[in-house]
Every structure is written in structure tokens, then in C-alpha cells.
Structure 1
């Protein structure tokens, strides 16, 4: 694993997993939320994000966490591993609400400074509709990259996979 994408619904734990892998593998980590958002919740243009991603994906080693379906076609060809956290939406919803509560009023570690965590009803509905919309679009992008995908359906599966990579000594 030298060029890794970590994807899945919000609240699945993509950033946590990516951070852990970056430390264990010694690979630079990039969060799509930090690439996309400017302070004050100002969104970057598609051109700005694509330019940032082109510089990152041209490198030999990286981990990028975040689904951001509109940029998958820029990232998938260079990835040698795609870790897809395909968790139940009820679990992701609980985790998202916990994250909002935990970081309320301040930026979380994987977010741009100046973008404090907040409750956003539209974002909540995005997650609730994940399986009927965003997931379908994302999985369409994954066609042709199946040989690179590690699809994990639960935190227990993730733990078993991590244990297989890093067995206890």
C-alpha cells in the first residue's frame, strides 16, 4: 500500500482509519475536507481541488481520506488500494451525531481550522439518503477498480483486517 484511498459514508471512521494507517505506514495523509473547505465554511472551486489533487496524486506515496464523489475519477486511477468502509447507516448516523457533539463549536483534527463542527440538517439528510443516492454514484465510479478494493462491512471486520496487517507480537 503506497497510494491509498479511504472512502465510505460520513461517520464511518474514514479519517480515524486514514490517520492510523498514515502513522503505521509512514505515508503522507491528506483529508479531502481540508482540501475542500476554507475557513468560514467556504468551499473551494472544483478547479482548486483538482489542482491540489493533481499535485498529491502525482507523488509516489499518499493516503487520501474522503469520498467526494466528484473527485473520485481524479484519484482512483493512481490509487493502488481502496479501503471502502461500507458500514450500516445507523452506525454512521450515531457516530456522526457523537462527532458533532464532541467537536461542537471547534474544528475537528481532519477539518480546516475556522470550520467549527456544527449541526447541519442538510448534511444529516445526505447521510440518511446515502444508500439510495451517494452510494450508488460512488460505486459507479468504482467499476473497473474492483481488484484494488478492500470492502469492510463493520468495525469488527476492520479490526480483523488491521490485525492481519499488524499482528500482535
Structure 2
């Protein structure tokens, strides 16, 4: 099965994608890991798209990430798109909590990049928290449009509004896979 988990930053898409990949014994692919270069440099499409295409050549995967400009690549053979659409306050709380944990731990976000959260970045206009605030509603509008777009009628979309729904979906998908 090929699954793309999407949602605004802080929604819990990475956590759900990892849990799904483990439960389904499928490779976990993180778009941010494929995307970000050292020192927070963004790749060109010519650099990024082939990396994504190569990663998606597997028979099954759980892909964590949005990057709408890649829809034609990642959704050409996807079976299921799961949209994690939690309430704004919950999403914002999760984004802030995660950012603070990353600042304090100084964990390298994607191996080999040296990219780490910092106090300066956290309070800047480039902050993932500010990104979440600015893009929460437009992200919701975008996924509502995409779900209704006839171009994607071959895709099964599931919209999750709570962690409880996410856990139930994992159980359901494992049950289906086991046959």
C-alpha cells in the first residue's frame, strides 16, 4: 500500500506516518528529509524531484509530507491520502511543544544537514510556529479543494479530526492488510 500523510505543520502527520509505517511494515519516507539541504538551504525542483521519484519506486511506503508542487509525482500511484486535520488550538499547541523540544534538545532534524531549531529561529518570521499560524486555514482550504478535484478521483482520501480517529484508522488498515 502507498500512503501519503498530509497536514499543516504541528498536526501530527509525522507521528501518524511513523506509526502507520511500523504497523504496516512499510518504509517510512519523510519529505523534509528528502528536501532540506545543509544550513536550511532549499533544493531546486531539479534536485528535489528525482530524489522523491527514486524514494517512491518501492512497492509500498508511507510518505510524510505536503509539498503540493510534488502532487503529480507522489499521487500518481498513491492508494490513500490521509489528511490530519486537527483543531487549530491543538495543532498550534503541538507545533509550539515540538519546536521547544527541538530548541532545547538541539537534535539535528535530518541527518547530515546540521539543521537544528534555535531560539532565534523560533521567534523569527521563518519560525515553524508562525508558519502554522499563517497557513492553517489556507492548508485546510487547499485539501478540501484537492479532495474534490476530479483529477484525483483515483485516490481514496481520509480526513482525520482527532488522535482517536488516527488510532482507529491504524487498527483498520492493519486488519485489512492481514486480510
Provide the rounded CA distance (Å) in 2 between the counterparts of 1:27 and 1:54: 17
**TM-score after normalising by structure 2:** 0.80
Q: Which has the larger radius of gyration?
A: 2
Change (3 A) 1:52 1:19: same
The two structures, once aligned, show a CA RMSD in angstroms of: 2.1
Q: What is the aligned residue count?
A: 164
Question: Could you say which residue in structure 1 is the equivalent of 2:158?
Answer: 150
Task: Say yes or no: does 1:159 pair with 2:167.
Answer: yes
Provide the rounded CA distance (Å) in 1 between the counterparts of 2:64 and 2:144: 16
* CA positional deviation for 1:10: 0.6
Question: Could you say which residue in structure 1 is the equivalent of 2:74?
Answer: 75
Change (3 A) 1:166 1:55: closer
**TM-score after normalising by structure 1:** 0.85
Question: Could you say which residue in structure 2 is the equivalent of 1:13?
Answer: 12
Gaps of 5+ in 2: none
Residue aligned with 1:87, SS: coil
C-alpha contact 2:38 2:115 (8 A) present in aligned 1: yes
Question: Could you say which residue in structure 2 is the equivalent of 1:135?
Answer: 140
Change (3 A) 1:86 1:29: same
Question: Could you say which residue in structure 1 is the equivalent of 2:107?
Answer: 106
Residue aligned with 1:82, SS: strand
Provide the rounded CA distance (Å) in 2 between the counterparts of 1:62 and 1:54: 12
After superposition, where does 1:16-35 map in structure 2 within 5 Å? Answer: 16-35=15-34
* CA positional deviation for 1:12: 0.9
Residue aligned with 1:136, SS: helix
C-alpha contact 1:69 1:138 (8 A) present in aligned 2: no
